[in-house]
Amino acid sequence: MLLNNFKLTKAEHIEAIGNVDLFLKWGFVMNNLSNGILTIEGIEVKQDTNLDFLEKSFVTNPNFEVRKRQSDEATVGSLRPIQLGSKRFSVRISFENNIIQGIRLKVSDPSINQWDYEEKLSQHGEWLTEQIGYPEGILSENVFEWGKITQWYDPRSCDAGISILYFQR
């Protein structure tokens, strides 16, 4: 049988095909993350995205809400989990003086025990590997010309997330 020539079990072969399908399905949609671009609900969010633009873009989108904390600070947040590639996330985009500071993502999967930060970390690493490749996707920090992507966890609160931080020009 052909599979034996590659020394893969049938299950490994099926898993490999599934991973290729995932890459083909989702890779082209969001593979710009290594360039600092994240597509959220059809809107490209990047280093030069400002609050005014996002407010106009999401004005009719019931999934997002703008919260102004102070006159110079605001957050655009998802009210429901948002599909980003192969996973669903809660999304928070932070602004200061109308300039994007960063994006915080937390996997939103009801099958994950809310106290299991290790599984959350695993899901974040899996998603980042789909977006920026391996081994970058499993590293705790990746620095780019435009900013950095970090995976973080807090074992005391059992929380974990991904932070996309933009360097200011």
Cβ contact 124:103 at 8 Å: no
Residue 3 has pLDDT above 50, yes or no: no
Structure tokens, 12:
């490994």
Residue 48 has pLDDT above 80, yes or no: yes
Cβ contact 159:165 at 8 Å: no
- CA–CA separation, 8 vs 61, rounded Å? 46
Is pTM, for the whole model, over 0.85? no
Cβ contact 114:106 at 8 Å: no
Which amino acid is residue 91, in one-letter code? V
91 DSSP β-pair partners: 105
**Mean confidence (pLDDT) of the chain:** 82
pLDDT at residue 12, as a whole number: 53
- CA–CA separation, 164 vs 28, rounded Å? 19
User: pLDDT for 149-162, tens place per residue?
Assistant: 999 998 888 889 99
Q: Cis ω on the peptide bond leading into residue 62 (within 30° of 0)? A: no
Angle subtended at Cα 21 by Cα 114 and Cα 86, rounded to the nearest 5 degrees: 25
Cβ contact 28:35 at 8 Å: no
